Chains A and B, each alone.
Chain A
């Protein structure tokens, strides 16, 4: 049985991520599940199952994310610090990290030696977050993966002017009812979201390279458009969604 030195738990607004690392900080396991309202029970359940295959007797636990208050941990650290740590250790470079999650966007400036220099989060609203696309996806009954694909392969684009997740949804519906092509509208919706994120990036001041984390970084259309808007190819970890939990686990190592 391998020994898990530290466990990072990122209880996000949308998903729960758990990452275990060994002494060298190598990822031993990573789990992503939709977040349950009773995230503490969900976590316990997952950890208990993992104990069958790993030695977790002396693992440190570091929690982050909106649900971290509910989770038993040795330490609680904010998502900003965790994503910054995860991204920095993954790419071994400073720059601009952008975490696009289900409900929050975070733009984090990381220094050459891995310190957070500055950050910004979206205001009290979900504009430009995963929820922005999800709302419409639910409404149109299109799976998220399909949304990205439609946007990516679209040969045209309709301008969506609202950045409010709720208003954008009705804007989409009204474009469709006026006969605009579905993929054009979906592409426009992605554009509106990406523009919102780019403006946040410019607010803190863009410092390349651009590195992505969070579930939305898996959306290929978002990635492509970010490149178009910023003129800079984003770097994406193998699994961007677990970067916060990975960072948390690494913070546990130095405890």
Chain B
């Protein structure tokens, strides 16, 4: 740990940056106004607590700029069991979230082209391309990403991450921990969980070595506790949409889920979601819906289309369609009950084999069917994501089942989560319009 790094970190992040960001948040929160050109004619005013989302993310990436040499840095997949790293004091970066941020800021294409130039195929996941592009070119909208000291890859979302993290390991020449999670067709077997648990235990030693300290179990329990609390709050926020009108659109959830992914295990994240829940409850009390004129309620399946969130949200809201439930945002809440503070490692093993992408397509169908009933939905939009195969497989049948067995309108929408080349405005509009006319 260089003294110079530490001084710079304390000065630029802890003192100047952080305080400035916090001061700004307080000010904007106090004199809160929805952002310029926010369509208040069709949408509820943006969530006031959203200023904290911005704050958390801004601080996270600002810390990343100065953290090298001060804290150990780990790059991890979105479904990775981060609790151990968190307890060891790692700074944790999620390349997928960074990818999403590049997508939302509309620079993902430019960055992923950097990877394509080096021969990475456009058929590879567009997050992977964005991340590898950012790694190779150092291009990023957040200034600078800290170099990893450790990589943690969990295959509970897809197999792509395995190859992607091997590329990173080779490039950065740092240790790579792979947590291999057996696919769950129906129920996870005892030995599946045991197998994951053993890997988690084995990972502790490597992580400790990189961190230069040993794991404190009480710290780990604390992180698991905070992680669970935040996930429970997030779940409660999503479930608030069972109210009519639904208070928070899925498009807003896409934006405000960043902390539950990137900062779970932190006390600030728990604070943040409890503030957000208060605001949501306030909305319910006052009968405020996410969109002004909620005529139809639909669900969203698969990843967001990051570079078109606003376009989609406004286009649908203009027509009175509120998107209020999603299998994607749900994924960060549904497993909360499985976490057990008293048995952190065992319960982590279980929690991390059960994400939606590590389970059969029948499970996803069941999730959507439950949503249709519990949220009283009229339709479903299934984003068929060109470069995320594991999420998109099975959607053809799922769509037909929703239509034929539950009688809700269901649309397959072809696009890509981070590659705008797979999105044709006019064609998407014409399909969405026909879908909406079908619900009338």
Bind each other: yes
Task: Enumerate chain A interface residues (CB-CB to B < 8 A).
Answer: 66, 77-81, 116-121, 123-124, 203-205
Contacts of B414 in A (CB 8 A): 123-124
Q: Which residue in A66, A79, A119, A205 is a CB contact (below 8 Å) of B438?
A: A119
Q: What 0/1 pattern do residues 407 to 440 of B give for CB contact below 8 A with A? A: 0011010100000001010110011011001100
Q: Which residue in A66, A79, A117, A205 is a CB contact (below 8 Å) of B434?
A: A79
Interface size on B, residues (CB 8 A): 18
Q: Which residue in B400, B403, B410, B437 is a CB contact (below 8 Å) of A80?
A: B437
Is B430 touching A66 in the complex (CB atoms < 8 A)? Answer: yes
Cα A78 to Cα B427 in complex, Å, equals 11
Q: Does B188 contact A (CB under 8 A)?
A: no
Q: Which residue in A117, A118, A124, A204 is a CB contact (below 8 Å) of B424?
A: A124
Contacts of A123 in B (CB 8 A): 414
Is A66 touching B437 in the complex (CB atoms < 8 A)? Answer: no
Contacts of B427 in A (CB 8 A): 121, 124
Contacts of B403 in A (CB 8 A): 117-118
Nearest neighbor of B415 in chain A, beta-carbon distance: A124
Whole-angstrom distance between the Cβ of B156 and the nearest chain A Cβ: 30
Is A203 touching B437 in the complex (CB atoms < 8 A)? Answer: no
Contacts of B430 in A (CB 8 A): 66, 78-79, 121
Q: Tell me what chain B mostly uses at the interface: helix, strand, loop, or mixed.
A: helix
Q: Which residue in B400, B412, B426 is a CB contact (below 8 Å) of A205?
A: B400
Cα A121 to Cα B437 in complex, Å, equals 15
Among B396, B422, B426, B433, max chain A CB count under 10 A is at B433
Can you report 12 residue pairs joining A to B where beta carbons are below 8 Å apart? A77-B437, A80-B437, A81-B434, A116-B434, A116-B438, A117-B403, A118-B409, A118-B410, A118-B438, A121-B430, A124-B427, A205-B400
Contacts of A117 in B (CB 8 A): 403, 438
Contacts of A116 in B (CB 8 A): 434, 437-438
Contacts of B412 in A (CB 8 A): 120
Contacts of A79 in B (CB 8 A): 430, 434
Task: Enumerate chain B interface residues (CB-CB to A < 8 A).
Answer: 396, 400, 403-404, 409-410, 412, 414, 422, 424, 426-427, 430-431, 433-434, 437-438
Is B438 touching A203 in the complex (CB atoms < 8 A)? Answer: no
Cα A117 to Cα B437 in complex, Å, equals 11
Nearest neighbor of B434 in chain A, beta-carbon distance: A80
Cα A120 to Cα B414 in complex, Å, equals 11
Nearest neighbor of A119 in chain B, beta-carbon distance: B434
Q: A121-B434, A205-B400 are in contact. List 17 more A-B contacts (CB 8 A).
A: A77-B437, A78-B433, A80-B437, A80-B438, A116-B434, A116-B437, A118-B403, A118-B410, A119-B438, A121-B427, A121-B431, A123-B414, A124-B422, A124-B427, A203-B396, A204-B400, A205-B404
Cα A151 to Cα B10 in complex, Å, equals 78
Whole-angstrom distance between the Cβ of A202 and the nearest chain B Cβ: 11
Is A81 touching B437 in the complex (CB atoms < 8 A)? Answer: yes
Contacts of B426 in A (CB 8 A): 66
Contacts of A124 in B (CB 8 A): 414, 422, 424, 427
Whole-angstrom distance between the Cβ of A45 and the nearest chain B Cβ: 24
Cα A44 to Cα B33 in complex, Å, equals 45
Cα A188 to Cα B45 in complex, Å, equals 58
Q: Which 9 A-B pairs have the closest CB atoms?
A: A80-B434, A78-B434, A78-B433, A81-B437, A116-B438, A123-B414, A124-B424, A118-B403, A78-B437
Cα A117 to Cα B438 in complex, Å, equals 7
